[in-house]
Amino acid sequence: MSFPGSSAPLRYPFEEAPEYGAGIEVAEGVLWLRLPLPMALDHVNIYAIDEGDHWSIVDAGVYSKKMVGMWESILAGPLKGKPVGRVILTHHHPDHVGMAGWFVERGAELVTTRTAYLMSRMLILDVEGEATEQAKAFWRAAGMAPDIYAQRCADRPFNFADISYPLPIGYSRLQQGDRFRAGGRDWDVHIGNGHAPEHLTLWSQSDNLVIAGDQILPSISPNIGVHPAEPDADPVGEWLEACERLSNLARADHLVLGGHKLPFSGLPVRMRQLIDNHHGGLRRLLKHLETPQTAVECFAPLFKRKISGGVYGLAMVEAYAHLNHLHQTGEVTRSRREDGAWLWQKA
């Protein structure tokens, strides 16, 4: 679930993505790979950086027996039989971290931010057979539709371990301001937030490459959600701060290698779009809150389209995040309904 974003001013040097299992060289020594995902956003981009006798890969896709087979074909094909010696994780979500442990078990070094590592390892270890009381309380607080609530309470929850290989202890940390050497380039480390805490982005010093993960995407904005573990979080505020800060680094000639969709240039325009999209959503939401509303009653002004069952949960956590932001800036108030739902209203 994400806000739509116009991509008209952006430029796409590569009109077509590589076939699954194939690779396209997007810069000297940098291959763009694409792997399938079992979800609405049906792919993830992987970038392989040539280190001479091995490869560094940026993100790893989900884990399954099928994906192990696909990676074995990639290693023998586009990666020319050389091993993966390093996995660089942009953030902790399972479509990026799922296969990382498989590579680490085979000798690869894991490089990421502290928060991404800790959250990945914790969530992969945390296997739940049924919905927790905290999750149920959060769903009620959002005003989840009764039929969806009942179904979620009855179903086994999704667990990171369902599509992630166990992640061993030990990693190498990157943090804001670090300089990182990969593929003959020096990369400046700049940390994003909002979509995922302490999200890694890498900015090449020697040419125009930016490895952005899900922090900066064309045509869509990444999901920014609040979850039961931290129901009073303000990821929208963190997102806007990160976008403003990263926009100061943006150049029109940057080639942005994102976690989804196509590589693109025109980064200053895209950063302004990402910021303006969320400010626009907040303005529409405030107008909608002239009368009290639950989080799930805020889909229409935020997303401007009908929300179907497949993305209901993503829409709910994103609506909740925008309401939290307005609440923490003092622009809305909230009160508990008898059923536990928060009713939000313009202050």
Please give the Cα distance from 28 to 11 (Å, whole number).
Answer: 20
Query: Is the residue at 133 inside a domain?
Result: no
CATH number of residue 258's parent domain: 3.60.15.10
pLDDT over 90 (residue 324): yes
State the average pLDDT over residues 226-232: 96
State the average pLDDT over residues 5-11: 68
pLDDT over 90 (residue 40): no
Which pLDDT value is given to residue 155?
97
Given a contact cutoff of 8 angstroms between Cβ atoms, the answer to whether 30 and 49 are in contact is yes
State the average pLDDT over residues 73-99: 98
Residue 309 sits at the vertex; the CA angle it makes with 308 and 312, to the nearest 5 degrees, is: 85
pLDDT over 50 (residue 235): yes
Please give the Cα distance from 328 to 234 (Å, whole number).
Answer: 8
Query: Is the residue at 31 inside a domain?
Result: yes
Closest Cα to residue 144, out of 292, 315, 289? 315
Mean pLDDT of the chain: 96
Which pLDDT value is given to residue 306?
87
Range of the domain at 81: 23-127+158-281
Which pLDDT value is given to residue 8?
58
pLDDT over 80 (residue 287): yes
- Bridge-partner residues for 64, per DSSP? none
pLDDT over 90 (residue 9): no
Query: Is the residue at 5 inside a domain?
Result: no
Query: Is the residue at 58 inside a domain?
Result: yes
State the average pLDDT over residues 15-33: 97
pLDDT over 60 (residue 2): no
Which pLDDT value is given to residue 161?
98
Backbone angles phi, psi at 261, to 5 degrees: 65, -155
Closest Cα to residue 123, out of 97, 156, 153? 97
Query: Is the residue at 335 inside a domain?
Result: no
Which pLDDT value is given to residue 146?
95
Which pLDDT value is given to residue 5?
47
pLDDT over 80 (residue 309): no
Query: Is the residue at 6 inside a domain?
Result: no
Which pLDDT value is given to residue 196?
98
* 7 pLDDT tier (thresholds 50, 70, 90): low
pLDDT over 50 (residue 1): no
Quote the number of domains for the chain: 1
pLDDT over 90 (residue 3): no
Q: How much of the chain exceeds pLDDT 90, in percent?
A: 94
Burial class (CB in 10 A: 0-12, 13-18, 19+), 26: middle
Query: Is the residue at 266 inside a domain?
Result: yes
Given a contact cutoff of 8 angstroms between Cβ atoms, the answer to whether 13 and 33 are in contact is no
pLDDT over 80 (residue 307): yes
Distances (CA, A) of 175 to 96, 107, 190, 256: 19, 23, 8, 20
Which pLDDT value is given to residue 4?
45
Query: Is the residue at 292 inside a domain?
Result: no
Which pLDDT value is given to residue 39?
86
pLDDT higher at 161 or 7: 161
